Structure 1
């Protein structure tokens, strides 16, 4: 094994493995790449290369076809069968058309014929690492689409509350400290994380959202940190932001591993001895009171204090109802083109009507109301108290004067949703866009002592 760490100039985060049984050619490639990549490794055989790949994450493999024992194409096929998708540049002194076709079918990205010039090698490396970068970006995009996360709408509003939050995000963006976002469901924690990301890392850096509650406890470590032949989400977020949503749902054993990563600013993939340095911002979010979770033994105190370097609390919509007109206008302007429908008009009376409601589902509930209203073609206020999942048809419209007390409207809406799911509070909370705890608190308020 040969390793030549060197000052990185061109590709500071890349690791390249050179596999060639000729010492002269191997040393030439190592010396050429050492000043330009974060780490360059060397191996003289396929077997030695496989041992290195068990310990090191590799972005690019420069692989000679003619090797003692297992040849380069056989090694490439074996790596692809194992799920290792690193970029590969094959090199050889003896090549024909059939060999080149076999190499490309096996998964090689480029093919160089010896002897080659330094410029050719660097060109192949540059193209290979660019392909690797595009793969990571496409993976992040596909994952974001799979989450069905609505596009970032930004933190809209001119109230003192929202302006204060925007100013806080501006200040925090100037440093790379870990940030903890707290607040009820639907208050826009992911939007705040995206705003912080854009302000601090820029729009071209990766933003990788992770729902900690949606990953199996058995898979979460490999999903976050990676495993041999497979990058984890920390690697995909390098140079940008890793957003750990619902951090309070993370299993206790995984909390210790995350704490170590935060303290050392490095990760170790599952089954690997390699330490990968981190160059990213970590933003965590929760709608659960973590301090209470710590007291109950459900969340590590040391991790809580490590996440709480900077804590920003997102306000419920009820605390800044003066922003409702701006939010309504914004949602109409952004959602109508996406849905392919004309915008709707909202009268002054209807707007005052909306501003009386307490919005237990916060901004998310308002957004969903506007989306449903755009589909129907008019402000669908009846959706605030009558579950669409129950009627399965055209929602009834409220006539002026039907209801003037929106606290009553809220109660009717929640009770209707509960009735539609036969009293299942977990399902009802999901439909309402609020936490079960909030739902139970609302129900307790309506139950006589």
Structure 2
């Protein structure tokens, strides 16, 4: 064993390790080295002592000597066979026996180290185990996102969305808490995902809807719990904050969080540590917090429904997403995006919407924002009806109220206003606008020349 400190690779600190060895010197040596790096490091001299600790706390990594008094490390079936609370295991032995090494690996060991060893050899093994564990977590979240069709791409080139993207790019690389505000359906989770994607953080993105979890279970879901801490807690369980180690936790609908939990969350934000329900130990965390709400939290504070100190702690950096009705120029781009995406998901042929369809979609107020637009496109694809036709077939009472042109406008004014709006929606790309309008680029150029080319702005 080398007593020289080895440079440690940066890694999320919210990792728990249990060292099992009957030699006090080895336990002390490894504990001292690993405590510099990880949040929780425990030691035990036997399998029985280790199992008592494991019953009270979850461990990400077990470092176990094979030769122990009583049962050997390879005989620790409670840990080796526990699929629900599976830990990575590094076995150690002072006996250079190939059969023992093979037996250890077959038993489920992640690595096998022969004593005596250099500290950097152990640290490299530990790093490999934790990196694999973090990668599994990230892959699990990515598979979930792919199965649900999640994306971190923000659609829209309106001035309002361009400003949102600019803010995201500026604050993403920091570790600051971010509060996202906006009406339901505006894409708050997409903004949070974009923040995570551009942050460079290695851990997963973990979304939590604070309004969908029963208040009495929220603390356990976020911070984890120990066996027997409450009725039904049969074993230890990692909380979502631990699961998000090294990454980002997204607390959606934060305004729905009970006041008691608000107090606990404030403590977590200030101390950067969590305490699982039923545990006496604090666990350090390396997690970025992004929160979102469709309520006006300032009003909730004034009404006594939200803690003022927590509001100030969350509102360090604020991103407000404008509703879709305030950026109609984004509707066309969003429509094309959802049509392509849903066409693949639903297995329907590629659809090109008509000028009338796109006009109807742009004129609608969209109280449900982008979520309502996506649902509308999905219904139209499933029913095989373009939006304009779908709305015409609805009973009059169910037809959407749309904003139109003033009744005293001349037809030439309506034409000019609509054509220029379509060109603006395509960021000035006249060729793309001409395709949507169903005219040639030459015709569009002629119209623009008639409207804008003279100093007197001769109108068509």
Shorter-chain TM-score category? 0.7 to 0.9
More deviation in 7-16 or 63-72? 7-16
TM-score (norm 2): 0.72
Max Rg structure:
2
Equivalent position to 1:217, from 215, 218, 230: 215
Q: CA 1:127–1:154 in structure 2 vs 1: closer, same or farther (change >3 Å)? A: closer
Question: What are the superposed Cα offsets for residues 324-361 of structure 1, whole Å, 9 maximum, x if unpaired?
Answer: 11111222233323332222122222211111111111
**Per-residue deviation at 1:266?**
1.6
> Contact 1:55–1:273 at 8 Å: present in 2 too?
no
Distance 1:6 1:102 in 2: 27
> Contact 1:20–1:63 at 8 Å: present in 2 too?
yes
Q: Classify the secondary structure of the residue corresponding to 2:332.
A: helix
* Residue equivalent to 2:432: none
Distance 1:332 1:156 in 2: 13
Question: What are the superposed Cα offsets for residues 270-318 of structure 1, whole Å, 9 maximum, x if unpaired?
Answer: 2233332232321111112323333333222222222112222211111
Describe how 1:41-52 pairs up with structure 2 within 5 A.
41-50=42-51, 52=53
Q: Classify the secondary structure of the residue corresponding to 2:327.
A: helix
2:324 corresponds to 1:323: no
* Residue equivalent to 2:153: 154
Q: CA 1:88–1:356 in structure 2 vs 1: closer, same or farther (change >3 Å)? A: same
Q: CA 1:8–1:343 in structure 2 vs 1: closer, same or farther (change >3 Å)? A: same
Q: CA 1:265–1:372 in structure 2 vs 1: closer, same or farther (change >3 Å)? A: same
**Per-residue deviation at 1:397?**
7.8
Question: What are the superposed Cα offsets for residues 133-169 of structure 1, whole Å, 9 maximum, x if unpaired?
Answer: 2332244346546xx7432262222211111212222
Distance 1:123 1:310 in 2: 38
Distance 2:327 2:47 in 1: 63
> Contact 1:183–1:316 at 8 Å: present in 2 too?
yes
Describe how 1:50-449 pairs up with structure 2 within 5 A.
50=51, 52-53=53-54, 58-77=59-78, 83-92=84-93, 104=106, 108-110=108-110, 112=112, 114-115=114-115, 118=118, 121=122, 124-141=125-142, 144=145, 149-152=148-151, 154-201=153-200, 205-228=203-226, 229-381=236-388, 396=393, 406-407=400-401
Q: Classify the secondary structure of the residue corresponding to 2:366.
A: coil
> Contact 1:12–1:38 at 8 Å: present in 2 too?
no
> Contact 2:353–2:386 at 8 Å: present in 1 too?
yes
Unaligned stretches of 5+ in structure 2?
A: 227-235, 404-460
Number of matched residues?
A: 387
Question: What are the superposed Cα offsets for residues 161-212 of structure 1, whole Å, 9 maximum, x if unpaired?
Answer: 111212222222243221111111111111111112222236x641111111
- RMSD across aligned C-alpha pairs, in angstroms? 3.7
Question: What are the superposed Cα offsets for residues 373-426 of structure 1, whole Å, 9 maximum, x if unpaired?
Answer: 2333342346558xxxxxxxxxx489xxx99x84179xxxxxxxxxxxxxxxxx
Q: Classify the secondary structure of the residue corresponding to 1:306.
A: helix
Q: CA 1:138–1:218 in structure 2 vs 1: closer, same or farther (change >3 Å)? A: farther
Distance 1:159 1:83 in 2: 48
Distance 1:111 1:159 in 2: 53
**Per-residue deviation at 1:237?**
1.6
> Contact 2:79–2:86 at 8 Å: present in 1 too?
no
**Per-residue deviation at 1:239?**
2.1
Distance 2:6 2:35 in 1: 6
Q: CA 1:327–1:83 in structure 2 vs 1: closer, same or farther (change >3 Å)? A: closer
Q: Classify the secondary structure of the residue corresponding to 1:263.
A: helix
* Residue equivalent to 1:422: none
Distance 1:110 1:81 in 2: 15
Q: CA 1:84–1:268 in structure 2 vs 1: closer, same or farther (change >3 Å)? A: same
More deviation in 62-71 or 34-43? 34-43
> Contact 2:181–2:318 at 8 Å: present in 1 too?
yes
* Residue equivalent to 2:434: none
> Contact 2:12–2:246 at 8 Å: present in 1 too?
no
* Residue equivalent to 2:21: 20
Question: What are the superposed Cα offsets for residues 194-247 of structure 1, whole Å, 9 maximum, x if unpaired?
Answer: 112222236x64111111122222222121112344322112222221100111
